[in-house]
Every structure is written in C-alpha cells, then in structure tokens.
Chains A and B, each alone.
Chain A
Amino acid sequence: MMENRSDKKIIEITGVTKRFGSFVAVCDLNLDLYQGEFFSLLGPSGCGKTTALRIIAGFQDPDKGEIVIDGKSMRDVSANKRPTNMVFQSYAIFPHLNVGNNVAFGLRKSGISRSEIDDRVSEALEMVELDGLEKRSAEELSGGQRQRVALARALVLRPKVLLLDEPLSALDKKLRETMQLELRRLQRSIGITFVMVTHDQYEAMTMSDRIGVMFDGKLEQIDRPEDLYARPCSKDVASFIGGMNFLPASLKEESGNVLDISTPGFGDMRIEINSNVSKHGPKLLTGIRPEQLEISAKKPSDYDAMAQGKVVDVAFYGESIHYFVGLDGIDEPITVAVPNYFHTMDYQRGDTVWLGVQNASVIDLGEIPDNMKD
C-alpha cells in the first residue's frame, strides 16, 4: 500500500495509563503517530480505545504518562487549546444552529473577519461536498450529511490532528462503505493526520496506513494492515482480524528463521518464524487463513502438506463458499473459503475431501496460550 506519511512525529504518547476506580481503561500506552498518516485504533468495545482517543483530545486526563503533540507537551493544556479536533460518534451537530453556523462555530472568535469566516466555511463545505448548504437547518440533515458537517466543522480549524470516534458506526452499511473510501481520499488530499477509533476490522484495514490493535487497555500490536493480517502477534489479534484456523503444533527443531514442526492432521511442516511473536516453546500455535487452503476431491500433488477429512458443514456467502472440514486429531473443523467462481457448490456434507496447504501459508503464532493447553 502506498503511504503518504512523513517521518515527522506529530503525536508522541509515552506511558499513558488511565484508571476509572479499580478498572484500568488504558494501561501503559506507548505510541508515536506520524505527520500525514491515517492511524486506526482497533479493538472490541470496552478495550480502552475511546478513552485513549479522549485522552489525546484532552477530555480526559491520564493518571500517568505524557502526550506530546507537535513537539509541545499537552500537560495542563485543556481540550479547547489543543491543536486537535474531533468528529464525535453522535456527530454532536448543534441542533439550534444551521449548517453554516455549525461549521463556523470554532471560527467565531476574536481576530477572524466575517468575510474570512464565510470564505473558510464555504471552502470547508466544498471539501466535504456540501457546497451551498450553509442555510440548511441541522434537523433537516441525513445521517451522511451530519457526518460531513461534523468533518467540515473540525477541519475548518485546520487542526494538526483530526480525531474520529467511530465516525461511521451510525451509518447504514452501503453509506458506510462509500464514506470509508471518501474519508480516505479526503485524508490523502489534505494531508492531516487522522486518528480513528473503530471496532470494525474491515473499516480499519481499508482506511488505515497503520493499525493499533487494543485488548483490555493494552496495545497488542501496531502494524500496517497487510502485515497485521499476515503476521499477527498473538491468537487474540489473529482471531480479531479476519478468519483463522488454529492448529496446535509441537516444535521439533528451530534453525535460523525456520521452524520444523509437527501438526495433527497435516503432519510435518517447515515454517518461517514470525518476528512479531515474542515467545516460542515446545508447544506452538499456528494459524492458517481459510482462503489459503486448497480443497479437492482427489489428493492434490503440489502442496507442502496435505490432510484428508470429511465435510461436516457448508455455508454459502455469495462471493465465497465456506466448507467446514473435520480432520482426525483436531477438535474444531477446519474452515476453507473458496471463491464462488462458477456458481457451483462442489462438495456436500459427508463428502470425503483432501485439504492442501503451502508452508508459507502457515503462520507461526508462538507458544501456545495457557487456555489452549491440555
């Protein structure tokens, strides 16, 4: 993916911790964000991502740690004095003001002339494709329009960083997909750093330069979307992003950056060490993405590892078909995703099939987590 970020750090977060009573919402967060990048904080609800965003915005003070924006410490700088602006989850469009006055809200302060305000408002509205709607009342706006007004209202102040709290969650699916691309395009064209909070993995992957995945207040992994998908650092991250078949394995030999392993079902394999994983042991966990498995009636010849099993279930998704295949020695059936090339469903429940996989498709997920040990 092409990146448009520079090497200049715009936000430096060091050791930020936030507690609510005994609940630790954010735990020792360390994160650097760069000028011009689109960064997403991704995680399940309650993982602390919104709290982290609100700490950057200045709505919440961290108990420990420091935030530096554009080289200046934000300690004792309140939200209204920070070079950040926010798009709220509810959009928070002022109901008593029309579109123009909503966008002009932050400009209506000392020093800016009326005509300049008008110019900047119409420029901002043009940017979000709402030109000429200044006089429209807030109550007449559709969901998508409200979002655009919220964007224009924040961007008109030319912030160093734009913060977006679940900006697309209030929209329906179709509109959400359109807005994903549009937001991305907008961010590229104006070059401001965007920090978005979302629980939607696809949203994060399609829009972001980098993604930080959060669980239970901790940042588990920060990476580009494609690296996150190819080399997740843990089982949690792997299962949160995309589908994944988990296979326990035992380590036979470790040499250089290669592991020789033995798995139930697929037998012996030689896989590459995943540099994002912190710990290896005699018992390993590996993962295979469903779309990287081959399924066929006859034994395939050109695969590094093969296994025979029985189709236990079939699910039709339209663009793809998922076959769930039971293998001897593995509790959970293996999911295989096959693109729907020819409008045919080749296998039925009960069919005996062969699965094939290349060594390169098997992801090393490190030492097996405690809850998966026997």
Chain B
Amino acid sequence: MAIQLKSEASKGMALSAPATLYVGLLVAVPLGILIVYSFWTQSYVDIDRTLTWANYIEAFQDPLVRHLIVRTIIIAGLVTIATVVLAYPIAYFIAFRTKKQTLWLLLITIPFWSSYLLRVFSWKLILGFNGVLNSALMTIGIINEPLTFLLYNEIAVVLTLAHAWAPFAILPIYVSLQKIDRSLHEAATDLGCNMYQAFIRVTLPLTVPGIIAASLIIFIPTVGDYVTPALVGGSEGKMIANLIQVQFGAANNWPMGATLSLLSMLSVGFVAMLAVFTMNTAGRRIR
C-alpha cells in the first residue's frame, strides 16, 4: 500500500521501538547488574568486588532463607488456589447465568480501582485484635473475647491476597468461558451428560487456558509481595520479599538482596512452569 510507504516492516519496528527498548533495557540491564551484584559481597560499608559464590552458599545454608522461600511458595500457592477457586463460580455466573454481564464486571472491578496499599491496610483494621470484625462480633454478642487467630498469620495473608487479586482471576476465566460455544454444552447434554458431567467434561477443560493465565498472574506477584506480609502477616506470615527489602534497607547488604531476588525469581519460574505443565496435562486427561 502506498500509504505505508516502502517498507511496512521498518515502520512497524520504528513505531514500536521506544516501548520495546524501554521495557527491554529496564528488564535486561538491571537483571545483569543484579547478577553481578549477587557475586559480590558486602564487607561492612564497602562492597567487595571479588566474584564469589559466598552469597549463594550462605543463602542455601541459612535455614531462615530456605524456610522463607518455601513458605513464600506455599503461601503463594495457597493464595492462587484460594483466589481461583473462589473466583471461578463468579466468572461462571457472569458468563452464563446473568444478562447484566457488563454491570457485574463493573461491580467486580470497581474495588480494585482503589489503592492496593489502602485495601491491605483495611484488612488489617478488619482482622485486628481490637478490630472491626472482633468488635462487631462482640457487640452482637456472638463472642466474649476477641478472636486472636485472625491477624498476623498465613491465613490473614491468604485472605487479604485472595481479595486483592480477585479480578485477576475472574477476568481471564470469564474470557475463556465466554469463548465457549454455548451449543457445546447442549451437545454434551444431548449426548447424555447431566449438568455436572457436562461441566466437568466440556466446560472445565476448555477453561484451562484461562485458569493457567489467572494462576500465573496471581502466583508471580504474590511471591514478590511486600505490603501484605508486612502489614497483616506478623512474624508467622513474613515472606521472602520482606527479607529482600531488609537487605536493601536496614541491613544494607545489597549483594545478599540481589542474590535473594534472583533465587526467588528462579524458584518462581520453576514452580510456575511445573504448575502450567501439570494443569495442561490434567486438562488433557479428562475424557
């Protein structure tokens, strides 16, 4: 086409270059520097620039680090499962059981147009010892003593994050449900499936891509989440991000911070790949 001048390809590249280069550079360069840092060591206020595996060895030998990484992955896994399981029926409801789809989607997303920090903070107020839930329950007279198991533990973290990531689970699943041809469900029924069989054998396998997308979108940021464990996690709910922050902040040990960042990134990648593989296989097993 004449309007595209001589080379369509070069125009496309030129137009997309700023964004691509910006993101590319801000991903690649810091990552490179992070890797270099992880092989340096902190000696008091100075950084010792001899390349060494010392940080990695220290990280692997430190039971606290191991413990935190394992706990982070377990919590992130729980958060992912809880969010997806809680969200799936909503996505299903919006896709198939209501005519006011736009309204429901809007209702679901509005709360997340508010500051994440404030939403987490609000959960802290709800779950606290003298908090909203306890005082409400005591006012009604259901309990006499404040419940202490609500705040500062893994449950609080899972609950808060299941709330925080809700639309990230609902939307991809909703999209994959939407794409399903309605007549497929009818065909399954016609071929003798009841409602639940039709769901398990037709609808659910077809939404596996949506579930995978939702899981990744939730799992990855959860591993790197700093605010929630800091506010509602207590010492039981601390996660690896809090330790990383300490290394870059109070402890002032950047090489160790870099090492921990890389280690958590690697474990996220590994676990995510494993999970995607498992879900894909499970989706294909259904007959």
Does chain A touch chain B in the assembled complex, meaning CB atoms less than 8 Å apart?
Answer: yes
Interface positions of A (Cβ within 8 A of B)? 54, 58-61, 78-79
Complex Cα spacing A282 to B191, Å: 57
Interface positions of B (Cβ within 8 A of A)? 1-3
A57: nearest residue on chain B (CB-CB)?
B2
Residues of B close to A78: CB separation below 8 A: 2-3
Report the minimum CB–CB distance from B118 to chain A (whole Å). Answer: 39
Residues of B close to A60: CB separation below 8 A: 1-2
Complex Cα spacing A61 to B1, Å: 7
Complex Cα spacing A172 to B3, Å: 32
CB < 8 Å A-B pair total: 12
Complex Cα spacing A59 to B1, Å: 4
A-B residue pairs in contact (CB < 8 Å), sample of 12: A54-B1, A58-B2, A59-B1, A59-B2, A59-B3, A60-B1, A60-B2, A61-B2, A78-B2, A78-B3, A79-B2, A79-B3
Residues of A close to B3: CB separation below 8 A: 59, 78-79
Report the minimum CB–CB distance from A48 to chain B (whole Å). Answer: 16
Residues of A contacting B: mostly: loop
Report the minimum CB–CB distance from A204 to chain B (whole Å). Answer: 26
A81: nearest residue on chain B (CB-CB)?
B2
Please name the 6 residue pairs, one residue from A and one from B, whose CB atoms are nearest each other, closest first.
A78-B2, A59-B1, A79-B2, A58-B2, A60-B1, A59-B2
Report the minimum CB–CB distance from B54 to chain A (whole Å). Answer: 56
Complex Cα spacing A78 to B3, Å: 8
Report the minimum CB–CB distance from B102 to chain A (whole Å). Answer: 19
Residues of B close to A59: CB separation below 8 A: 1-3
Report the minimum CB–CB distance from B1 to chain A (whole Å). Answer: 5
Residues of B close to A79: CB separation below 8 A: 2-3
A60: nearest residue on chain B (CB-CB)?
B1
A58: nearest residue on chain B (CB-CB)?
B2
Complex Cα spacing A319 to B3, Å: 49
B2: nearest residue on chain A (CB-CB)?
A78
Complex Cα spacing A79 to B4, Å: 11
Residues of A close to B1: CB separation below 8 A: 54, 59-60
B1: nearest residue on chain A (CB-CB)?
A59
Complex Cα spacing A78 to B4, Å: 11
Report the minimum CB–CB distance from B48 to chain A (whole Å). Answer: 57
B6: nearest residue on chain A (CB-CB)?
A61
Complex Cα spacing A59 to B3, Å: 7
B4: nearest residue on chain A (CB-CB)?
A59
Residues of B close to A54: CB separation below 8 A: 1
Residues of B close to A61: CB separation below 8 A: 2
Complex Cα spacing A139 to B84, Å: 41
B5: nearest residue on chain A (CB-CB)?
A78
Residues of A close to B2: CB separation below 8 A: 58-61, 78-79
Complex Cα spacing A78 to B1, Å: 9
Complex Cα spacing A58 to B1, Å: 7
Complex Cα spacing A126 to B2, Å: 33
Complex Cα spacing A107 to B87, Å: 55
Complex Cα spacing A60 to B1, Å: 4
Report the minimum CB–CB distance from B50 to chain A (whole Å). Answer: 55
Report the minimum CB–CB distance from A42 to chain B (whole Å). Answer: 24
Complex Cα spacing A79 to B1, Å: 9
Complex Cα spacing A29 to B268, Å: 59
Report the minimum CB–CB distance from A88 to chain B (whole Å). Answer: 14
Residues of B close to A58: CB separation below 8 A: 2
Complex Cα spacing A60 to B2, Å: 6
Report the minimum CB–CB distance from A283 to chain B (whole Å). Answer: 46
Report the minimum CB–CB distance from A60 to chain B (whole Å). Answer: 6
A82: nearest residue on chain B (CB-CB)?
B2
Complex Cα spacing A196 to B135, Å: 78
Report the minimum CB–CB distance from A77 to chain B (whole Å). Answer: 9
Complex Cα spacing A61 to B3, Å: 11
